[in-house]
Amino acid sequence: MSSRTFRPDPTFYPSPSMAQSAPRETLAYVVEIDATGRTPDALVVLDLDPSSPTYAQEVGRLDMPNLGDELHHFGWNACSAALCPTMPHPHVERRYLLVPGLRSSRLYIIDIKPDPRQPTIHKIIEPQELEAKTGYSRPHTVHCGPDAVYMNALGSPSGDGPGGIFVLDHTTFDIKGAWEKNRGPQHLSYDFWWHLGHDTMLTSEWGTPNMVEQGLNPEILLAGGYGHSLHVWNMRTREHVKTLDLGAEQQMVLELRPAHDPRQTYGFVGVVTSLADLSASVWLWHLDGTEWKIQKVIEVPAEPADPADLPPLLQGFGAVPPLITDINLSLDDQFLYVSCWGTGELRQYDVSNPFEPRLAGSVHLGGIVRRTGHPRSDEPLTGGPQMVEVSRDGQRVYVTNSLYASWDDQFYPAGIRGWAAKLDVQPGGGLTLDPDFLVDFGEKRAHQVRLQGGDASSDSFCYPNP
């Protein structure tokens, strides 16, 4: 039972505009992967308090009890959606991180309450239980919903499709089962999120486990076989409503970032690459009357490169693709951050007018060819800005550099040394590197960052901004 009686969890905010006033984060949680599988993956705690002597250092960690999980995306058991009026649970706590192993299909429920710097394992759900109760494997994205924790999975236990969403109780963590009642043509799975104010769920497409686990398969890619659609769902009936096809040349439609204001009906999705010219893009979905539509609003071109500087996979193209692997939207819905993992760039777009994004800032770090360094590193950086997380007040942006172990090795064959960096957002737009913040994970790889108390991609809201 929750220990809270008189006030809701103080990290819950009714509206996104109220969440922007949250106190500054002082800790970050990062999943750290051993790509060799020789030591366990870990959840690492970073100190984000600039007045602390251990600023930008590891101050705690939890090593998993198994090898080879490949921890990936993770999320909270509860968040601001618990205040939603349809069934408010304001006294449930944002206390547990649900951390799935993308390769092992094992799910760790991690308690950060007794000591936020020393997380402990509260419960482990083994892959057999996940498979038996949902028919899914390779759990991927976690979102705390109004009524439960929602997670999705890339595919079936055999490694084929379909992938989809399943639901867990947000206090007992019992798996309640698969979410979809009628999936229609949906088969591939990657990300999901929703417009709570409009009873609408959106899901995106990568590939089945068999299509992605051995690395990017050039044959599938050139045949346009990876995901190129977005799916719209009715959240109440749990039925597929519409497929928004971006065209087969748009390969890998990944991260979904709906507007945080629940009155709005638009959002952004990143596309890794185009078969036509290796460009990457961001598309805008929006509700036009009663019809959901999608259009390209950002295109980042590939950069010409000497084939000698490129990994074997790209040598034939003579260009380095930007590879938009993650995007993130500030809580005020004003700035969209776009990771170009291939060229090693984080871009900031002003999306006040979502139909016409305007480039407002850019920082280079790493990159396949560019290998931009950092003031705190003697060596050029490997990898590039990949997972990106924005603080609730929108003033700080954190990035990590690893994508997915087998894909890291294809695009950065010399190896990736894990790092996390911080960028500062200038008032009104513009990005600068924090020269004092670089966390070196050594031979281990850093994937997603979550900020203590919530961040710009951890909460959803039922009450509109004023």
Q: Which residues bind another protein (CB under 8 A)?
A: 1-2, 4-8, 10, 12-15, 18, 83-92, 145-148, 169-171, 196-199, 235-236, 262-263, 462-464
Nearer to another protein, 138 or 195 (CB): 195
Nearer to another protein, 13 or 136 (CB): 13
Give min distance, CB of 463 to another protein, in A: 6
| Distance separating alpha carbons of residues 207 and 191, to the nearest angstrom | 11
- Nearest partner of 302 among 315, 314, 319, judged by Cα: 319
Q: Which residues contact 393 (CB under 8 A, 6 or more apart)?
A: 20, 21, 22, 24
Nearer to another protein, 266 or 407 (CB): 266
Burial 209-231 (b: 16+ CB within 10 A, else e): bbbbbeebbeeebeeeebbbbbb
Give min distance, CB of 331 to another protein, in A: 15
Nearer to another protein, 80 or 104 (CB): 80
> Quick one: 326 exposed, middle or buried, by C-beta within 10 A (0-12, 13-18, 19+)?
buried
Give min distance, CB of 289 to another protein, in A: 15
> Percentage helix, strand, coil, to 5, in the chain?
10, 40, 50
Q: Which residues contact 103 (CB under 8 A, 6 or more apart)?
A: 68, 69, 70, 138, 213
Give min distance, CB of 455 to another protein, in A: 18
Secondary structure letter of residue 24 according to DSSP? P
Give min distance, CB of 166 to another protein, in A: 14
Neighbours of 51 (CB within 10 A): 6
Q: Which residues contact 353 (CB under 8 A, 6 or more apart)?
A: none
Q: Is 458 helix (H, G, I), strand (E, B) or coil?
A: coil
Give min distance, CB of 138 to another protein, in A: 25
Nearer to another protein, 7 or 38 (CB): 7
Helix (H) or strand (E) holding 407: helix 405-411
Give min distance, CB of 351 to another protein, in A: 22
| Distance separating alpha carbons of residues 459 and 167, to the nearest angstrom | 17
Helix (H) or strand (E) holding 409: helix 405-411
Nearer to another protein, 152 or 156 (CB): 152
Give min distance, CB of 2 to another protein, in A: 7
Nearer to another protein, 15 or 382 (CB): 15
Q: Please state the length of the chain.
A: 466
Nearer to another protein, 412 or 463 (CB): 463
Give min distance, CB of 198 to another protein, in A: 6
| Distance separating alpha carbons of residues 174 and 386, to the nearest angstrom | 32
Nearer to another protein, 113 or 358 (CB): 113
